[in-house]
Amino acid sequence: MLGNMVRRLAFTAVMVVPLVLPATATAAQATWRMIDLGQGDNSVAMAINDRGHVVGIRAGGEAFLWRGGRTVDLGAFVPTDVNNRDEVTGYRFDDAGPRAVFWRGGKLIDLRTSPGGQSYAAAVNDRSEVVGWSSAGVDGLLRASAWRRGALTVLAAGSSFATDVNNRGQVVGSAGGNEQVAVRWWRGTELRLSDDPSQAAAINRFGTVAGLDWSRSGTAGFVWQRGRFVVLPPPPGEADFRFLQPTGINGRTQVVGTSSDGAFVWERGRMTILPGLTRASEANDINERGVIAGANPTTADGVRLHAVIWRR
């Protein structure tokens, strides 16, 4: 699954959205409709903004921006996120490996890092703040990084990865060297969200976090809100290895991702498997309106992915 491989290459008073405990998984699909974005075989929708604009990649390694039926070609790089200004983050390869890039208004910009170093841009917020990781430093370790107005800031002292940022500047990811755990960076402070092997994947505008937990059988998901850590277990089944991999969360605490049973959405404590041809479907992001971006195979072997969105 291309989208998931790409991702693994790897106060002001506000309303608090209540966290609902997970209930039994269900495969109900009737309320969701899948729409093909017309990008052909071997295409994946990677992220969606609140305007419904989708960024993705198609055959040949070409990035695209889909705006309600009109497609803009962005060039040869792997996109990872898009903000409400239609600014896109991602990476491309050179002789040194992956290099973080930022697309804005038709121009693709290389984000600064150490000479010859590697870097990866994972997410961008509406303030054009980009987060990811880079090999900044003489030891070559990959460290969680942020680019603000083009300047690179390293967020952690050791091996670490930043995966998402919200408009408050709260950054999530993982840190801890060989024993990575989910963390949040904010205002110069690192907060561990769990003591178990884990990684934070996404954060919403209220600071609620979704991510992965590897401490149990298979790969489980989790939701963290204001110090409360709730595990979303893998779906039941007969496979030797079951998994639930969250990739996105919105302000309604709708969590999307990929599981052993295919693309899913968690909402109000219930898991729904999204419509798709096979279990190879994947959900990569969700916006504030509840529209989900991802990919669905068009053949029974699950190989020919098409970029899609799901909406009610």
pLDDT tens column, 225-282: 989 999 888 777 656 668 899 999 999 999 999 998 999 999 988 889 999 887 899 9
The CATH superfamily of 2-10+27-311 is Peptidase/esterase 'gauge' domain (2.130.10.150)
Q: What is the pLDDT of residues 210-241, one digit of tens each?
A: 999 988 767 889 999 989 999 888 777 656 66
- Determine phi and psi for 244, rounding to 5 degrees: -140, 115
Q: What's the CA angle centered on 32, arms 27 and 38, to 5 degrees?
A: 120
pLDDT per position in the chain (312 positions), as tens? Answer: 455 544 444 422 222 233 433 434 444 455 899 999 999 999 999 999 999 999 999 999 999 999 988 999 999 999 999 999 999 999 999 877 899 999 999 999 999 776 668 899 999 999 999 999 998 666 778 999 999 987 899 999 889 999 999 999 999 999 998 889 999 999 999 999 999 999 999 999 999 999 999 887 678 899 999 899 998 887 776 566 688 999 999 999 999 999 989 999 999 888 899 998 878 999 999 999 999 999 999 987 778 999 999 999
Please give the DSSP secondary-structure letter assigned to residue 243.
B
Q: What do you get for the CA distance between the two ends of the chain, in Å? A: 24
Q: Are strands 262-267 and 78-82 parallel, antiparallel or unpaired?
A: unpaired
pLDDT of residue 90: 98
Indicate yes or no: pTM above 0.75: yes
3-state DSSP assignment of residue 65? strand
**Alpha-carbon 254 to chain mean position:** 14
**Sign of the CA dihedral 245, 30, 280, 218?**
positive
What are the boundaries of each domain within the chain?
2-10+27-311
238 and 258 Cβ atoms separated by less than 8 Å: no
The tokens for 166 are 């919200």
Which amino acid makes up residue 69?
A: G
Pick from 48, 50, 49, 73: nearest CA to 61: 73
